[in-house]
Amino acid sequence: MPEGGHLPPLRKDKKTKYLRRQQEVLDAAAAVIARKGYHGASTTDIAGELGVAQPSLYYYFASKDEALEEICRIGTAGYLERLQAIMDGTGATRNKIRDAIRAHIEPVRTIPNYVKSFQRERRYLPSERRHELGRLIGEYDKLFRLLLECGVSAGDLKPDLDCELAAFMLITQCNAAQYCVGDDVSLDRTSTAIADVFLTGAEL
């Protein structure tokens, strides 16, 4: 058994196979945790999802905590970089906001179990990792807020806009986009609808 349970075996050409299986285990864990919550999802449940015995999981992860850490890492990967890239662009404020909304919602749709587990279960992480994630989220919130503040400075958005609150509410709406139940809930239509209301309002 690999040291610590989560370290891969030694032969280098076998690593990829090990890592592929580890990914499958992680997918199963994310699915069960998204469905039943971290404490509601037993390791027996996760093993059942995979069709293996419960101790087999420990060949790939040292602990349930560690699996949640990895799930959260995947669920948050790239967010900051994508938003930064959008802000570095040259388009109009409204298009940057549209792009930011779209970029945020995309993983919510493509890897919903990872994002959902991150959103709802990250508070059960060990404190060090939890605080680390908190800092990352704080940076993202700040960057999103900066996007709006730049729009205000440029004269594209209302000068009295509460950018902190507005950024928070936009992020909240993007996170909730996975729970939409309407007729056409495609990524495109959902992100466009959120952006439209945010930019131009609902009133005539």
Partner DNA sequence: TTAGAATTCTATAGATTTATTGAAAATATA
Partner DNA sequence: TATATTTTCAATAAATCTATAGAATTCTAA
Total of chain residues touching DNA, rule CB under 7 A: 29
Residues of span 60-119 touching DNA by CB under 7 A: 60, 62-65
> Residue 46 or 194: which CB sits closer to a second copy?
194
87 contact choice in DNA, a second copy, none (CB below 5 to 8 Å, kind-dependent): none
53 contact choice in DNA, a second copy, none (CB below 5 to 8 Å, kind-dependent): DNA
Query: Nearest 5 degrees, angle CA 104-CA 132-CA 122?
Result: 65
150 contact choice in DNA, a second copy, none (CB below 5 to 8 Å, kind-dependent): none
- Closest separation in Å from C-beta 60 to DNA: 7
C-alpha 177/C-alpha 190 separation (Å) is 7
C-alpha 56/C-alpha 74 separation (Å) is 22
65 makes contact with a second copy (CB under 8 A)? no
11 contact choice in a second copy, DNA, none (CB below 5 to 8 Å, kind-dependent): DNA
Residue 145 · residue 153 · CB < 8 Å:
no
Instruction: Give the closest residue to 37 by CA, choosing from 1, 9, 71, 87.
Output: 71
> Residue 60 or 148: which CB sits closer to a second copy?
148
37-74 per-residue burial string, b: 16 or more CB within 10 A, e: under 16: ebeebebebbbebbeeeeeebbbbbeebebbbbbbbeb
Residue 159 · residue 152 · CB < 8 Å:
yes
198 makes contact with a second copy (CB under 8 A)? yes
Residues lying near a second copy in the complex (CB under 8 A) are found at 37-40, 94, 120, 123-124, 148, 151, 155-158, 161-162, 164-166, 168-169, 172-173, 176, 179-182, 190, 193-194, 197-204
